[in-house]
Amino acid sequence: MNALHIARSELILGGQRSGKSRRAEMLARQWQAQSPAHRAVLVATGQPWDDEMRERIKRHQQDRAERVPGMATVEEPLQLSQALAAHGSAQTLVVVDCLTLWLTNLLMPADDVKPNRAPTLSVPAQTAMLLEAIDSSPGPLVLVGNEIGLGVIPLGREVRAFVDALGRLNQEVAQACERVTLMAAGLPLILKGQP
């Protein structure tokens, strides 16, 4: 494996099965290998909405344990900026996987998934807090998200609104990050920053 420059902050975008999470894991594994003091933490935003999602989460956990031994996992579907503040440190690389599910949780909370939390702030307020957390992160930060705006324009009003909201979120996070990488077929294309 060629050593990569670990950016202070990196946004990794791509479609489903494009290699986004694997790149984030590779960066975490490389970070851990650089020093015995280095830690890696995954902030998982997915929620087990149904049996398929529960199985998907379980499979991701098993695969991640094999690929990045020692990486801690924190589940946080809503309060992302608080999770980054709580788990970030100069010696810790934090991976957020993924921004798309985080936005989904904010905009379309599942009826049967009721987090034991106070009501969340608006999406613009949450996004502003996330951008501040990216800017003030004491250690490296890798954020994973989907690029879903490349396909056919969705028919439903709600779906179009979600695609628009995710596009805005991706643009704002991309502006805040030192490096932005687009993944396709497992291959990275650096859109911003040093490779």
For residue 60, indicate whether it is catalytic. Answer: yes
Strand order in the sheet with 179-184: 72-75, 39-44, 92-97, 141-146, 9-14, 179-184, 187-192
- Distances in Å between the alpha carbon of 92 and those of 30, 61, 89, 98, 106? 12, 19, 5, 18, 26
Phi and psi at 45, nearest 5°, equal -105, -10
Catalytic residues: 60
